[in-house]
């Protein structure tokens, strides 16, 4: 069954919450004001006072600060914003093009940055708003301090001594490379669609969960300290002195864990969960300071272990910390031989295909989906062939994938009720095709960026948290940029923006500071 193009995202609050407190600095005042539309580049020189690009103003070009003075961006810049001096830049509007902070000046954002971010000077970047798409590069001593939403479609690279500090979740569509001495400290989820690679002394410390769709590689002294679950879909290699330390939670991987030096995988907390590895080729050590909580499903050749670490080739029991039924994962003779299992995003749908070469006593397949590769829900059952010795092709779809990363796994069940799980696959959706609100939180107005798949006519309603309708608009046809600007909301707090069409409705949350 095809789902509506709109999905209900934010629905119920038990009570009204106050607007999120501002963490990053805001623009103090304005000396020079730019309004309207300006086509071309702006270079702000020394002695000109503080420049303010007013709310509603649009700059179609780059903005470069070369002075001791500040720039406040309350409108929209369709270009790259560069800071080459000691003046600061304050953003409460939108930058469509990226940021390059090259010198000692700082960058404070409570707006929207859409594009690459480069911090290659001494100045820091403080985010209290929304960052989407693009990459993040720290090549000097400047830090990235995140207190808002950070969703990078490309890579994050730390090649200097700059730090990444975040008290919110960070999503990376590419890989995370730490080739310098800078660290990452994060409270929340760290989701990496590519690889996590540490080649120097920089550490990753996360109070929450880490999900790595690619490989996890530690080839120097840098380590990973996590107070939560660590899920690695690819291979994990520790070839340096750095450790992977589990304060709590569990480590799960469907591929190899290889230790070729003195770096270890340690359970250092009394409540840490299992280490579940479906393929093992270890030559280092796996240690635990607690009893019988680190269980490795598979053999460990030349591996040193201590502190209640168990290695087994027999079926693995489920871990309390990872709710996975792994009873069939260690069985070597399988009733179904799987040639391939793939997940392919097509528009707003995920196409799931798999091919078997042999089937013995096969009753049916089950596709399960997950947001974190730990907690799973059933998507659909597909009948099997019973017995077969030829290639058989199966296909189904997920018409309502999760925003961001969706994990899928294939389960096969025999006629006698026995079952087995196969490998996990994952896809990431480009959120730019979704309906979104920016800036959020907002000061005077916000813009609704409608999805390219929106069908017209639509009705847009803005309600407060008491359910009172503040704004009600009828829109009969698509605008040139598919955007709607909403203003006139006086009171600070939470508002709900609901978009109705013939095919469904969508509700988003907006916060007025």
What is the span of the domain harbouring residue 479? 435-512
Indicate whether 257 and 391 sit together in one domain: no
How far apart are the C-alpha atoms of 100 and 93, rounded to whole Å? 17
Indicate whether 159 and 305 sit together in one domain: yes
Residue pair 338/359 in contact by the 8 Å Cβ criterion: no
Indicate whether 317 and 464 sit together in one domain: no
For residue 314, the model assigns a pLDDT of 40
For residue 324, the model assigns a pLDDT of 26
Residue 21 has pLDDT above 60, yes or no: no
Indicate whether 175 and 320 sit together in one domain: yes
- Name the least confident of 79-83, 340-344, 475-479: 475-479
Given the structure tokens 């992977």, which residue do they identify? Answer: 244
- The model's pLDDT over 405-458, given as tens digits with 9 standing for 90+, comes to 888 999 998 887 878 888 788 887 655 456 778 788 888 888 888 877 777 888
- Name the least confident of 82-86, 176-180, 302-306, 495-499: 302-306
Indicate whether 344 and 285 sit together in one domain: no
Output 8 or 491, whichever has higher pLDDT: 491
Mean pLDDT of 311-335: 35
Indicate whether 168 and 297 sit together in one domain: yes
Q: What is the CATH number of the domain that holds 346?
A: 2.60.40
| Counted domains in the chain | 4
Residue 9 has pLDDT above 50, yes or no: no
Residue finishing a domain among 132, 165, 192? 132
Residue 399 has pLDDT above 50, yes or no: yes
Task: Give, in order, the Cα–Cα distances in Å from 20 to each of 128, 132, 511, 512.
Answer: 9, 19, 8, 9
| 3-state secondary structure (DSSP) of residue 431 | helix
- Whole-model pTM above 0.75? no
Indicate whether 265 and 413 sit together in one domain: no
Check residue 56 and give left, alpha or beta (phi > 0: left; psi -120 to 50: alpha): left
For residue 120, the model assigns a pLDDT of 92
Q: Of 35-49, 92-106, 216-230, which has the strongest mean pLDDT?
A: 92-106
Residue 77 has pLDDT above 50, yes or no: yes
Mean pLDDT of 269-292: 44
Indicate whether 456 and 349 sit together in one domain: no
Indicate whether 197 and 250 sit together in one domain: yes
Output 280 or 483, whichever has higher pLDDT: 483
Q: Where are the alpha helices (DSSP H) in 387-464?
A: none
432 phi/psi in degrees, rounded to 5: -65, -20
The pLDDT confidence band at residue 248, using thresholds 50, 70 and 90, is low
For residue 24, the model assigns a pLDDT of 83
For residue 266, the model assigns a pLDDT of 65
How far apart are the C-alpha atoms of 151 and 164, rounded to whole Å? 14
């Amino acid at each position: 069954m095809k789902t509506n193009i709109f999905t209900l995202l934010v629905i119920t609050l038990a009570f009204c919450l106050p607007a999120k407190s501002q963490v990053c600095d805001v623009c103090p005042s304005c000396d020079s004001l730019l309004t309207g539309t300006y086509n071309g580049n702006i270079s702000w020189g020394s002695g000109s006072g503080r420049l303010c690009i007013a709310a509603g103003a649009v700059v179609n070009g780059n903005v470069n600060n070369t002075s001791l003075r500040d720039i406040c961006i309350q409108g929209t810049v369709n270009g790259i914003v560069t800071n080459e001096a000691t003046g600061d830049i304050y953003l409460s509007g939108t930058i469509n093009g990226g940021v390059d902070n090259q010198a000692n000046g700082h960058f404070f954002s409570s707006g929207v940055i859409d594009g690459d971010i480069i911090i290659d000077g001494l100045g820091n970047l403080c985010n209290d708003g929304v960052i989407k798409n693009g990459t993040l590069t720290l090549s000097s001593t400047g830090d990235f301090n995140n207190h808002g939403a950070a969703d990078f479609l490309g890579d994050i690279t730390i090649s200097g001594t700059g730090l990444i500090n975040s008290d919110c979740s960070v999503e990376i569509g590419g890989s995370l490379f730490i080739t310098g001495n800078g660290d990452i400290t994060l409270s929340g989820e760290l989701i990496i669609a590519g690889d996590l690679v540490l080649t120097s002394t920089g550490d990753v410390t996360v109070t929450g969960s880490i999900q790595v769709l690619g490989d996890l590689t530690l080839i120097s002294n840098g380590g990973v300290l996590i107070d939560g679950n660590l899920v690695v879909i690819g291979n994990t290699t520790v070839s340096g002195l750095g450790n992977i330390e589990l304060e709590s939670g569990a480590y799960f991987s469907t591929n190899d864990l290889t230790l070729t030096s003195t770096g270890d995988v340690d359970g250092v907390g009394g409540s840490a969960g299992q280490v579940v590895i479906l393929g093992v080729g270890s030559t280092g050590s796996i240690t635990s300071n607690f009893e019988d909580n680190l269980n490795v499903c598979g053999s460990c050749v030349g591996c040193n272990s201590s502190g209640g670490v168990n290695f087994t080739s027999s079926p693995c029991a489920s871990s309390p910390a990872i709710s996975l039924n792994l009873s069939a994962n260690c069985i070597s003779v399988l009733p179904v031989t799987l040639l391939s299992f793939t997940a392919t995003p097509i528009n707003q749908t995920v196409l799931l295909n798999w091919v078997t070469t042999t089937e013995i006593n096969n009753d049916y397949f089950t596709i399960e989906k997950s947001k974190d590769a730990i907690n799973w829900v059933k998507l659909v059952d597909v009948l099997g062939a019973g017995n077969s010795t030829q290639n058989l092709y199966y296909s189904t779809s997920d018409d309502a994938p999760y925003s961001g990363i969706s994990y899928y796994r294939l389960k096969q069940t025999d006629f006698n009720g026995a079952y087995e799980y196969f490998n996990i696959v994952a896809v990431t959706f480009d959120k730019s095709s979704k309906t979104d609100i920016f800036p959020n939180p907002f000061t005077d107005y916000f813009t609704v960026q409608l999805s390219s798949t929106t069908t017209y006519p639509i009705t847009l309603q803005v309600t407060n948290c008491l359910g009172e309708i503040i704004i009600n608009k009828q829109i009969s046809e698509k605008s040139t940029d598919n955007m709607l600007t909403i203003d006139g909301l006086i009171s600070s707090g939470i508002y709900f923006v609901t978009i109705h069409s013939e095919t469904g409705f969508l509700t988003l949350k907006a916060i007025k500071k």
